[in-house]
Structure 1
């Protein structure tokens, strides 16, 4: 199954008779065909696994029988190997249905290796035998059968398959290396060697001059001269052979890291319009995989994850190899390399002095790798300084010692809700083709609130995050501190800080968190925010379908809050943070508003998830995605307005602070990031808004041009100052 088996089976003679060993292999071939039919027909594991197990058992027998009967032959070895390869392909296709297409790499590896023999003549030779190949081959079948059985937890199964794939890759790579070492030199191989050297040189050049922002990618960017490459080649040509080899190896590792950083910078900038943060971003891996599972399904999520990991590992392996190969090419052709290096160095120097540009914005003299390293080092230092400053800011809190009887005294007896509307950025109101539709809808919701007896004032806040990581905005709003990365967030949650929730709790309110997206207990959140109750998916009785990322429709979440908190007999005033999530990426499918009396346990939403545009259809077009995004905001704001209309008939002391947490991803908002999010204070008692008249906020639910824009971390102190004695 691995290539070494073809030459490592200890075959000493050629036998032309069929024999018992080949008969056993023939049985495995028949079982493989049967298995392929079962897989094609969608058979379950209870049928597939026994057939596969019997087939693997025959694989353990035929070799022994051949050796004991003295009937080992090249034909038998090849027949055995190709049958095993076909069995692996069938098994991997079955497992890939649940864990992702990447599993097919195990089954296709043998055939990719065979295909590579067509253009690469040296792969057709005979390498020294490696018994380890047989162990690796047997392991593939065992792991695939265990994976097909579903007996192990999914993460364990995935890890086992990754280990098996890694061993298989090593086996093929080792075989290829052995064949390369024993190849017979000829003209074609000389040209192949030269060609790979030139390609390696071009690859290193491209890595060094490649920009680290998606907007800067252009053919002209690769026409610049990298000073790092000139210095490296110059040193390689000057140094003796061994030090030059060491230098090329070390430089290759550095350039590999630079290439990976550039790729991560581009990827993060596309999603979140910022650079990769080496200190904070790695902790998002788990959350990222979870999000992919919600958005793409388990199999596709694992496929994307594995492809990303393999791509990063490939960069860290292939780029250093390319640097060493390019350095070797320069030393092998020193008479040509020296004058070319001198010409390029003179051109770089002239470009640096005169400022010559290939095209506007692209200087001929490039030092992007140096600039990138300097930028990331500076940002890491800045992050560390931020954390030190944050620890001091947490301790320096002017409101921590305000007596409970003075804290929020102007809101005594009123229910106060802090409602976050997912991904509600200013771009939704004035930056999209369908923004006019949303403006009309928000104005209509504002009129409905007026008719229900509410007064509203609105403005903008500057969110600390973009595209995702809502928890950074939530903690900034609540704590009055600027939390824009995971490191500062983790630091904050480990300390005691007066948040809006804990301030209301201290002043006598029942403090509550309503977080439908939470699927597991979150003691850190309760400990930090001081919620007396946390309502999430684990303790809310929702039996309806999911809509994209959303675990439950916003209308249902608001109704559950009313039932669990506002309708409790004999209750006191409640302060709650409520996180609405129906406007979360990917924005499709979307529920419909239903009669509140029919909400029940949420089963009224059954079937709605199959109505209207679906993700695969919508995400083929940025315009369709933007339209779906706006529709999701219309739904969330409609659900909130309907909830407030219902409460107006029962509660004349309700105060609501509603705001967006961040802008949507660049697919919707474009590559020019923004951080302004709408914020509104809605109150059934008009005297509440008199307390904030000095803020200069505008009437209505929709802030217009000219509305104030504050940093989100400034809201807590202004709010506490306005409503505390």
Structure 2
């Protein structure tokens, strides 16, 4: 290889491929047709077979040309893998990201920076990646065949990089830092450590100004490095790196949880959601994407635990090498920190200049763990003190004797839907229309507000809180509750002589807690409701079908007695698209009438590109769920039907914002005026839409108020 500095025809060919790669990237972002993408990608890949030959024929082979060719190829593979990943799963991105991961690994692993022996096979492997991605992008092969081809290509690519890494390890030389490189990496390490120390713990406080603060922990660490003996300083730096890595990971988890649920990470409760989280991702993204996202999350966490201690070590070495300057800088920053702390100086949008973020983070999470343990102890005492536990069944719920009572949860139905979104006026009009329809059918309704114990997800906290009359806002207290014997609304009805059932269409596996804790005599779910239609987003079946099936399976059962059921409506569950349409009840059958609807209207990929589109889709899903419930009540012209319907929590922060609330609407619907007169003392509003003046109670207070109103 010669060192040729002029541009040359080979580099011009590579430049054409680079330009085509940029054009392809734009087309991928704009979701261009597969035909256009495939045609341009084929031309770009063809130029890769030309530039090398041109360079050799014209004698213009150079180190720059080889590097230009390599980086252009890598960029092209990344763009193509991003295009194919939309259809076959995010795992395809591993092909496009492989080189960049390998390059990033050179930073902490100096032995990877050497020159591996030349292997012609590497060039063939790179060509195979491009061909496999091109064929997959064309759509000419069935998805399964294309997936198998890409998996084979990825296996070859993995072997190629592993072989290169092994060659570099075998031929490694003792690493000697180049002074300029060492100084640059040391300075970068200082900046990285500074950034992770002052990084906020919630998405709402994440801003450039937050990184202009002075971290107390960093000043203390550098001060110790400068004054302690070298050996002791090494141990301190190692321990500090591990601690800072763990705290940084905790920050990442805090930010991630705050984005979805507007709260910090729960060290005790949240880890148990891993399985449920993967299950949710499978439902929302598909199995390949779910496992890809999970793998990337694990890699991110592992990367934090490795790279942060590495950065701390490099930063410490850098400050020791520049001890005089570092000492003066630390002294000045310490004085500025002290003045800022005393004077309360703030930067940006109210962040304190004198920061101690990681100290506060550790203290906050220690207090959260202590509070969690206190809550468990208090819950144990509260479970044992239940004013209704020993009331005979003959005295319970006497005002509802002979009536069918349905407790209907509408997923993610929060106050924000009625008051806080651009499309809230449409939902308010719809809810008022549903109220008028019920009035015409002879049903009255009263509505108020409840404060949910959860936000964004974890519906089971709200369900158990309402049913048990105890405040359940974390997994630890939930796990404790369901292991105990507590009178729930369902078991109170069972005790008083009602048949008690649960209807949870989203469940796909046995759920023993339904029998053991809620005391349901039967659980209806996706395995036994005979639905044969398509899925819509998260929901296993449309709400209209779930209510219709419940009508057939329970309400129309000959010779039955009074019934109490909890019914969970899922069509308003994230991601809110695609959405079914209401159809004639006579056409519902086994649900096949919904075939094709899942491809109509906005889809998840399109909708979730815009927060405004997501908010609009969320409101439309609530309109559908409430319409299905209203139609169900209209069709059951039954004087003995009582429906309690409520939301379980607000939707995720994409819709609600990071300062979302917890108020959810609740309504009691009945045709018998005596039922509504029994709750006159609650001072709820008429209709299905509570006003701001309507009372708001904590959700755990509802059980006792309800039992008190109807038990006499």
Alignment of 1:355-366 (within 5 A): 355-366=344-355
Query: Partners in 2 of 1:530 and 1:493 — Cα distance?
Result: 11
- Cα separation, 2, equivalents of 1:432 and 1:566: 37
| RMSD (CA atoms) | 3.6
Distance 1:298 1:654 in 2: 41
Partners in 2 of 1:311 and 1:568 — Cα distance? 54
TM-superposed deviation, 1:724: 0.8
Q: Which residue of structure 2 lines up, in the alignment, with residue 244 of structure 1?
A: 233
- Kindly provide the CA deviation profile for residues 606-634 of structure 1, in whole angstroms up to 9, marking residues without a partner as x: 00001111111111111111111111111
- Aligned partner (choices 632, 636, 644) of residue 633 of structure 2: 644
Which of 562, 571, 585 matches 1:596?
585
- Paired with 2:246 and 2:105, the residues of 1 have a C-alpha distance of 29
- The CA distance in 1 between the partners of 2:379 and 2:335, in whole Å, is 48
Matched ranges for 1:425-444 at <5 A: 425-444=414-433
Bigger mean CA offset, 97-106 vs 692-701: 97-106
Q: Secondary structure at the match of 2:708?
A: helix
**Residue of 683, 694, 700 corresponding to 2:687:** 700
The answer to whether structure 1 residue 182 and structure 2 residue 180 are counterparts is: no
Distance in 1, matches of 2:382 and 2:157, equals 49
Provide the residue aligned with 1:387 in structure 2: 376
- Residues 226-277 of structure 1: per-residue CA shift (max 9 Å, x gap): 1100100111111111111111110001111111111111111111011111
Which residue of 642, 656, 659 corresponds with 1:669? 656
Q: Paired residue for 2:188, among 173, 188, 199?
A: 199
Which of 343, 368, 375 is matched with 1:354 structurally?
343
Question: 1:102: how far off?
Answer: 3.5
Cα pair 1:228 1:369 within 8 Å, conserved: yes
- Cα pair distance change 1:108/1:704, threshold 3 Å: closer
Q: How far did 1:110 drift?
A: 6.5
Alignment of 1:491-506 (within 5 A): 491-506=480-495
1:669-688 matches, cutoff 5 A: 669-688=656-675
**How big is the shift at 1:178?**
7.3
The answer to whether the 8 A contact 1:545-1:603 is kept is yes
Q: Partners in 2 of 1:116 and 1:458 — Cα distance?
A: 59
Instruction: Flag structure 2 segments of 5+ consecutive residues without an equivalent.
Output: 1-33, 36-69, 118-124, 126-142
- Is contact 2:547–2:629 with CA below 8 Å preserved after alignment? yes
Please give the residue correspondences for 1:93-492 in structure 2 after superposition, counting only pairs within 5 Å. 100-102=89-91, 105=94, 109=98, 113=102, 125=114, 181-183=173-175, 189-492=178-481
Paired residues for 1:525-674 under 5 Å: 525-648=514-637, 651-674=638-661
Q: Is the contact made by 2:663 and 2:696 (CA closer than 8 Å) also made in structure 1?
A: yes
* Partners of 2:502 and 2:514 within 8 A in 1: no
1:540–1:560 Cα contact (<8 Å) kept: yes
Offset of residue 693 of structure 1: 0.7
Q: How many Å separate the matches in 2 of 1:550 and 1:176? A: 51
Distance in 2, matches of 1:390 and 1:163, equals 52
SS, match of residue 529 in structure 1:
coil
Question: CA 1:521–1:123 in 2, change beyond 3 Å: closer, same or farther?
Answer: closer
Q: Residues 123 and 176 of structure 1 are in contact (CA less than 8 Å); yes or no, is this contact kept in structure 2?
A: yes
Alpha-carbon distance in structure 1 between the residues aligned to 2:209 and 2:165 = 36
TM-score, with structure 2 as normaliser:
0.80
Q: How many residues were matched structurally?
A: 616
8 A contact 2:469–2:703 mirrored in 1 = yes
CA apart distance, 1:293: 1.4
| Cα offset, 1:101, TM superposition | 3.7
1:7-40 deviation digits (Å, cap 9, x = unpaired) = xxxxxxxxxxxxxxxxxxxxxxxxxxxxxxxxx9
Q: Secondary structure at the match of 1:318?
A: helix
Against the structure 1 CA distance between its residues 225 and 113, is the aligned structure 2 distance closer, same or farther, given a 3 Å change threshold? closer
Q: Is the 8 A contact 1:127 1:178 kept in 2?
A: no
- What is the CA–CA distance in structure 2 between the aligned matches of 1:366 and 1:173, rounded to whole Å? 42
Structure 1 runs not aligned, ≥5 long? 1-39, 42-81, 129-136, 138-149
Relative to structure 1, the CA distance from residue 210 to residue 707 in structure 2 (aligned partners, 3 Å threshold; closer, same or farther) is: same
Whole-Å Cα distance in 2 between the matches of residues 586 and 446 of structure 1? 27
The alpha carbon displacement at 1:432 in A equals 0.8
CA contact (8 A) 2:472 2:478 kept: yes
For residue 551 of structure 1, give the secondary structure of its aligned residue in structure 2. coil
1:374/1:164 Cα in 2 relative to 1: closer, same or farther (>3 Å)?
farther
- Decide which of 693, 701, 704 is 1:714's aligned counterpart: 701
How far residue 125 of structure 1 moved from its aligned partner, in angstroms, is: 3.8
Contact 1:416 1:655 (C-alpha < 8 Å) held by counterparts: yes
Contact 1:663/1:674 (<8 A) preserved: yes
Alignment CA distance shift 1:471-1:184 (3 Å): closer
Alpha carbons of structure 1 residues 679 and 107: separation in structure 2 relative to 1, 3 Å: closer
